[in-house]
Amino acid sequence: NTIIAAAKANGCAADPLIRQRIATAETGLRLMRYGALRMLSNTDHSAIDGAALTYKIQWATWRRKLGELAMDVLGQGGELAEGDTYEWGILPNLFLFSRADTIYGGTNQIQRNLIAERGLGLPREPRGDK
């Protein structure tokens, strides 16, 4: 809602590409919510559901794109901090911290290896130290 309000305030809401990206972000959020509810309703906890393995990558990628959208909506003014204490607003913070989502809990490449090994049963990736 904050991105939509900013887009309306500065006129970006009239840009069809921005509108499409906002709709894509909303759709992605709804799909992740549905997937999370589906995982939570899984009563068979004996095996990790394949969708659960992909959730971290989906979240990190969605949030990174949302941060990029936020900065595109804000434009050059989004790079400026407000006030004497040099505090970022909520949308620049979203952009900056969305990068951490692709690192903590394992980078996306590590997550892809886990999906391949645990979800698809592929052999482990060779390690250079062995």
Q: Is residue 125 part of a domain?
A: no
Q: Is residue 83 part of a domain?
A: yes
Tokens of 50: 């394949």
**CA atoms of 47 and 67, how far apart (whole Å):** 34
Tokens of 128: 């250079």
Q: Judge contact between 73 and 7, C-beta under 8 A.
A: yes
State which residues form the domain around 25: 2-119
Residue 46 has pLDDT above 60, yes or no: no
Q: Is residue 129 part of a domain?
A: no
Q: Is residue 78 part of a domain?
A: yes
The maximal CA–CA distance of the chain, rounded, in angstroms, is 57
Q: Is residue 128 part of a domain?
A: no
Q: Is residue 104 part of a domain?
A: yes
Number of domains the chain is built from: 1
Q: Judge contact between 11 and 74, C-beta under 8 A.
A: no
Residue 6 has pLDDT above 80, yes or no: yes
CA 6-12-17 angle, to 5 degrees, is 125
Residue 48 has pLDDT above 90, yes or no: no
Q: Count other Cβ atoms within 10 Å, centred on residue 67.
A: 21
CATH of residue 92's domain is 1.20.140.10
For the stretch 65-118, pLDDT in tens is 999 999 999 987 766 666 666 566 788 888 888 888 888 878 888 889 988 998
Q: Count other Cβ atoms within 10 Å, centred on residue 90.
A: 10
